[in-house]
Amino acid sequence: MTTQNITGLARRLEPFDNINTDYVISGRYKFSIQDPKELAKHIFEDINPDFAKKFKNGDFVVGGYNFGCGSSREQAPQALKASGVSAVLAKDFARIFYRNAFNIGLLLIECDTDEIDEGDKLTLDMKKFKLKNVTRNMDVDIKPIPPLMQIFLKDGGAIGHFKKHGGFSRLDSTVNNS
Amino acid sequence: MNKTIAEKILSDHSGKNLKNGDIAICDVDFCFGQDGTSSIIIDSFEKLGVNKIFDKSKFCIVIDHNSPSPSIGTSTIHKKIRNFTKKYNAKLYDIGVGVCHELVPAMGHVTAGDLVLGADSHTCTYGAINVFSTGVGSTDLALTLATGKNWFKVPETIKVIASGKLPKGVYSKDMILNIIGNISAGGATYKSVEFSGGAISSLSVEARFTISNMTVEMGAKCGIMECDDKTSLWLKKHSKKKSRPVSSDKNANYCDVREYDVSKLEPQVARPHTVDNVCSVREIKGVKIDQAYLGTCTNGRMEDLVIAANILKNRSLHPGVRFIVAPASKMIYLEALSKGIIDLFVKKGAVVLAPGCGPCVGTGGGILGDGEVAISSANRNFKGRMGNPNAFIYLGSPATVTASAIEGKITDPRKYL
């Protein structure tokens, strides 16, 4: 995980709440395409056919409540990560998607996304973990990332963590101390 | 003691005294993947660098989501799965055996008190037989496959008390649609839902699966029921595993208690494009349909096929409707064959597909055309779910699906009972 400042544009979704993983990447692609970079060309296609074309490396995906509900498909966070998403910002996240994202090292941030408009320039200070809406010249309050998820991010995801510590034993002691 | 079922099962599997909010490493009794998730399970497992699976008797892969393969891409994934299960001598249910959420309990892999992970979001289905079962992604499943464990955050619990007697023509599917409409798509996120009350105990185990199956549609981690005499009998018939029934304590802590009286409930439908967009059939009747689909892990069981057959028996399908039926497993298919139900469906003009997830996931047969409308006994009606983002999906009970197939429009089934 980088410790640099990340700057990108806000890409707001419509519909805003209950973005399911079928919308992130349709079921018809998960069997025909296995390369996450190819999948990335089809993100949010069913609700916004131009989304992937306009999305630039470093941009932020912005949604409302219950982001990532529905299917357990890990192709959803994979495709977002391969698109170069800096972070997904939402009011809250569905649980399977939440685990999947941190497991593969995709950053999710909970905050009040009503304050972020389409195209707003955002800067995330990874060192202090602060988010600024540069366009509106205001700080966005963000919910702290739980200690366990911070460990996964630092280790490059669950597999990185597993290989570094030889399984769950290290995780067990970390959890108990946190 | 003041523990919920979720707190007890996770405590039992971690060796610790846990309450909601705690995080713990737990031993998992059974885990599995399906063909939409197993390719990444295999990739992640191989990246971990381990060379054996933790216990081959506690794992299987089911090829059900896109089966038989309709494309080269899918065939490549299926081949990879077959090679993997062969290499590790692991259990594989190949094409045509059935849908994972029918097979995992019916083949006896899980029993009351178990902790189960599946790389499929509807793994919560086995809550109906007192199992703490929940869906995870592929990498999580690979970690469990390597270690037999995973990390769990102990969920808070919503208690749902359903009382009253279901009126004729109203089913467990109508109950859960009504509850989801009330709690909303994100209303139970990261929570366990405990179902109880007379309206639950009066249901068959099959009908209870429908309720637990759909709890993920309100964000829940699991939807669990107590083990009663019906459950014990069902388990004895299907599994050799020793069951360890778990009940909640009298003073268990619930974050919310919701009471529902089902005695005046009417047939329900979820309208496009969210599962919590629920109303009674009466409010929308008249919506014309092009396709009706009976099947899936929600409502593709024997009881569901019998309900449909009884309605269709002395009537005809609407000429403008394509009626697609997919039994949830080969065993159900065979039983329906022996009872003349498949014969009836085919003679009436229905298309009977091989057991599998079929049209529900929009990858194989039954893809809708632009502007077309389907009524389905499945659990999701997201835009594009049945393969076309320009189509419209309504969800209802097997009876509502069949009555609608007869009339060519969404129809209250009670007039046919």
CA dist B200 → A101, B160, B161 (Å): 36, 10, 8
Mean pLDDT of B260-264: 98
Instruction: Identify which has the larger pLDDT, B1 or B222.
Output: B222
Integer Cα distance of B188 and B367 in angstroms: 31
Residue of B214, B263, B219 lying closest to B376 (CA atoms) = B214
Does the distance separating the beta carbons of A72 and B137 come in below 8 Å?
yes
Whole-angstrom distance, CA of residue B95 vs CA of residue B92: 10
d(CA B415, CA A156): 59
The reply to whether A177 touches chain B by the CB within 8 Å rule is no
Interchain pair B24, A27: CB under 8 A: no
Query: Residue B347, Cβ neighbours under 10 Å: how many?
Result: 10
Residue range B199-221: average pLDDT?
A: 98
pLDDT at position A177, please?
Answer: 43
What are the domain boundaries of chain B?
Answer: 5-260, 268-416
CATH fold of B5-260, please?
Answer: Aconitase; domain 3 (3.30.499)
Percent of chain B at pLDDT > 70 equals: 100
pLDDT mean over B232-244 = 98
CATH superfamily of B268-416: Aconitase, domain 3 (3.30.499.10)
Strands A121-125 and A130-133: antiparallel
Residue type, B239: S
Global ipTM: 0.95
pLDDT tens per residue, range B41-91: 999 999 999 999 999 999 999 999 999 999 999 999 999 999 999 999 999
Concatenated DSSP letters of B148-197: SEEEEEPPPEEEEEEES-PPTT--HHHHHHHHHHHH-TTTTTT-EEEEES
Q: What is the per-residue pLDDT for A28?
A: 87
Residue B255 assigned ligand-binding role: no
Tokens of B100: 């994972």
Mutate to test the interface with B, among A30, A43, A152, A155 (most CBs of B within 10 A): A30
Counting Cα atoms < 13 Å in the Cβ hemisphere of A9 gives: 10
Mind listing the pLDDT tens digit for each residue in B146-202?
A: 999 999 999 999 999 999 999 999 999 999 999 999 999 999 999 999 999 999 999
Bridge partner list, B151: B25
Residue B266 in tokens: 């009417």
Mutate to test the interface with A, among B122, B360, B382 (most CBs of A within 10 A): B382
Q: For chain A, list residues with pLDDT below 50.
A: 176-178
pLDDT of residue B167: 98
CB contact under 8 A, A148 and B49: no
Which of A72, A164, A173 to substitute to test the interface with B, most B CBs within 10 Å? Answer: A72
> Does the pLDDT of residue B285 top 80, yes or no?
no
* pLDDT in the model for residue A176: 47
Looking at residue A170, its pLDDT comes to 53
B357 annotated to a ligand binding site: yes
CB contact under 8 Å between B48 and A47, yes or no, is no
In this prediction, residue B365 carries a pLDDT of 87
Give B73→chain A minimum CA distance, Å: 5
SS3 track for A70-139: CCCCCHHHHHHHHCCCCCEEECCECHHHHHHHHHCCCCEEEECHHHCCCCCEEEEECCCCEEEECCCCEE
pLDDT value of position A1:
54
**How much is the pLDDT for A167?**
80
Q: What is the mean pLDDT of residues B386-400?
A: 97
Strands in B30-34's sheet, in edge-to-edge order, are B91-93, B59-62, B30-34, B115-119, B132-135
Answer yes or no: do A159 and B48 touch at CB < 8 A: yes
Interface of A with B in 59-78 (CB under 8 A): 65-66, 69-75, 77-78
Interface membership of A123 toward B (CB under 8 Å):
no
Neighbouring-strand partners of residue A132: A123, A139
Could you report the per-residue pLDDT of B292-342, keeping only the tens digit for each? 999 999 999 999 999 999 999 999 999 999 999 999 999 999 999 999 999
* Eight-state DSSP code of residue A67: B
> By percentage, how much of chain A surpasses pLDDT 90?
80
Query: Do B5-260 and B268-416 come out as alike in CATH topology?
Result: yes
Domains for chain A: give ranges and CATH numbers. Answer: 5-143 (3.20.19.10), 146-178 (no CATH)
H-only helix segments in B66-156: 72-87, 100-106, 138-147
CA distance A138 to chain B (A): 29
Q: What pLDDT is stored for residue A166 in this prediction?
A: 82
Sign of CA dihedral A29, A68, B135, B354: negative
Question: Could you report the per-residue pLDDT of B102-160, keeping only the tens digit for each?
Answer: 999 999 999 999 999 999 999 999 999 999 999 999 999 999 999 999 999 999 999 99
